[in-house]
Amino acid sequence: MEGLWGPAMFLVALILIFSGFPVAFVLAGTGLLFAGLGTLTGHFDPALLLAMPERAFGTMSNYTLLAVPFFIFMGATLEKSRLAEQLLESIGIFFGRFRGGLGLGVVVVGALLAAATGVVGASVTAMGLISLPVMLRHGYQREFSLGVIAAAGTLGQIIPPSIVLIVLGDQLGVSVGSLFRAAVVPGLILTGCYALFVIGTAAFRPTVAPALPREVHDIGTRRLVRLLLGSLLPPLFLILVVLGSIFAGIATPTEAGALGALGAMILAALNRQFTRAGLSEAMHETTRLTIMVVFLLVGSMTFALVFRGLNGDLWLEQLLTNLPGGVIGFLIVVNLIVFALGFFIDFFEIAFIIVPLVAPPAALLGIDLTWLGVLLAMNMQASFLTPPFGFSLFYLRGVTPAEIPTTAIYRGVIPFIIIQVLVVAGMILVR
Which range of residues in 67-75, 82-90, 184-192, 210-218 is near other proteins by CB under 8 A? Answer: 67-75
Shortest spacing between CB 264 and other proteins, in angstroms:
10
Which range of residues in 58-66, 129-137, 232-240, 360-368 is near other proteins by CB under 8 A? Answer: 58-66
Burial of 196-218, coded b for 16+ CB within 10 Å and e otherwise, reads ebbbebbeeeeebbbbbeeeebe
Q: Would you count residue 19 as binding other proteins (CB under 8 A)?
A: yes
- CA of 50: how far to CAs of 91, 297, 304, 305, 353, in Å? 57, 17, 14, 10, 21
Q: Would you count residue 164 as binding other proteins (CB under 8 A)?
A: yes
Q: Would you count residue 79 as binding other proteins (CB under 8 A)?
A: no
Give the x-and-dash track for 324-363 against other proteins (CB under 8 A): --------------------xxx-xx--------------
- Nearest Cα residue to 25 out of 288, 302, 285: 302
Shortest spacing between CB 48 and other proteins, in angstroms:
10
Shortest spacing between CB 75 and other proteins, in angstroms:
7
Question: For residue 5, which amino acid is it?
Answer: W
- Give the other-Cβ count within 10 Å of 189's Cβ: 15
Residue nearer to other proteins on the CB measure, 87 or 350: 350
Q: What count of Cα atoms within 13 Å lies in the side-chain half-sphere of residue 152?
A: 33
Q: What count of Cα atoms within 13 Å lies in the side-chain half-sphere of residue 266?
A: 11
Residue nearer to other proteins on the CB measure, 90 or 300: 300
Near other proteins by CB under 8 A: residue from 39, 43, 62, 247: 62
CB 320 within 8 A of CB 358: yes
Q: Both ends of the chain: CA-CA distance in Å?
A: 39
Near other proteins by CB under 8 A: residue from 25, 98, 247, 371: 25
Question: For residue 382, which amino acid is it?
Answer: A
Which range of residues in 89-97, 112-120, 132-140, 354-362 is near other proteins by CB under 8 A? Answer: 112-120
CA–CA dist 341, 347 (Å, integer): 9
Shortest spacing between CB 244 and other proteins, in angstroms:
13
Quick one: three-class SS letters along 22-57? Answer: CHHHHHHHHHHHHHHHHHHCCCCCHHHHHHHHHHHH
Angle value at C-alpha 192, between 191 and 197, nearest 5 degrees: 100
# residues contacting other proteins (CB under 8 A)? 80
Residue nearer to other proteins on the CB measure, 102 or 305: 305
CA–CA dist 385, 66 (Å, integer): 27
Near other proteins by CB under 8 A: residue from 39, 273, 290, 406: 290
Near other proteins by CB under 8 A: residue from 5, 6, 17, 386: 17
Near other proteins by CB under 8 A: residue from 256, 334, 396, 413: 256
Which range of residues in 119-127, 222-230, 313-321, 412-420 is near other proteins by CB under 8 A? Answer: 119-127
